[in-house]
Amino acid sequence: MSQRLPLRRILVLDDFGEAAAASADWSGLPVAFLHRHLSPDELAEAAAEADALVLIRERTAFPASLIERLPALRLIVTTGQRNRVLDLDACVARGIAVCGTPSLASPTVELTWGLILGLARQIPWQEQRLRKGQWQSGAGLGLEDATLGILGLGRIGAGVAAIGRAFGMRLLAWSPNMTEEKAAAAGATLATKESLLAAADIVTLHLGLGPATRGIIGAAELALMQPGALLVNTARGPLVDQAALIAALRSGRLGGAAIDTHEPEPMAVDDPIREAPATILTPHLGYVTRQNFRRYFEGTVECLRAWNAGQPLPRPMNAVAQAF
């Protein structure tokens, strides 16, 4: 086993809610918590002497161009077991070990259903009217016998499907690689993307982001949806063409949208989605629960302590980490 010098400077990046310190026992570790999102130039300066970084999900992109500016870096721990904005090949080329942490799927499933219920029963708008001294206006959508279209049936999509079944909903599912067997295992019927969009009262997105899925819901797809249908995105902001979404909301064709993920993050102050009608916007809360943060940061500390003790690194994500 290779010899490793103890870590001298550990930075936890993008700790917006200042939750990391209280989520694990960091005692004895030379760790600092950064609560503000940094630009690449700011990060290169702040982390110039850091030999370990902790990434909270995909809040900061780590391309090769940034990794090359961090000469002391030897270890990255990213919360969860997947980080699409971290260049693992560049880490291997530099000899930087990358490890992941345990995580829960249930927090995003729960938030998805909070957003579905908020949209379907118009909870935010009815609550605002009540506070202004007004009473009921319009009628919401009941979920029993309504059609839920689920794009993506991974851990989160399958969890969403299970709750949809409990509400007595009809479930349709699609993804680029979906099979009838996988859909049936989740209690759903396999559909084409077009037929799902045309039939669903509510469409919820649970796809990964890549070249094939970026903008997978655009103007043409939104036009297929039923007048008054609802869209929920707790997966990745760029899955949806935002300009097309805003146009559909302003025209009134789309009944409402709930969006938890955005590009960039944090959301720009002048982002036009802030002014779109019939929207529920949340600041990427899908995975943000006390229980999930304990999983993240206890797993992080486990990896940092294993490094300092010269032990095998848990949950290696690249060849460098596997070598230890």
Return the active site residues: 236, 265, 284
Three-state SS for 170? strand
Collapsing DSSP to helix, strand or coil, 281 comes out as strand
d(CA 218, CA 204): 14
19's CB contacts (< 8 A; 6+ apart) are 288, 290, 293
- Does the CA dihedral 169-172-177-182 come out positive or negative? positive
- Please give the Cα distance from 308 to 311 (Å, whole number): 8
- DSSP 3-state assignment of 145? coil
Element holding 55 (H helix, E strand): strand 52-55
> Does residue 264 have a cis bond before it (omega within 30 degrees)?
yes
Tell me the C-alpha distance between 91 and 96, whole Å. Answer: 5
Under a CB-based contact definition with an 8 Å cutoff, are residues 260 and 233 in contact? yes
Using alpha carbons, select from 299, 208, 314, 315 the residue that is nearest to residue 26: 299
Query: Beta strands of 89-136 (E only): which ranges?
Result: 97-99
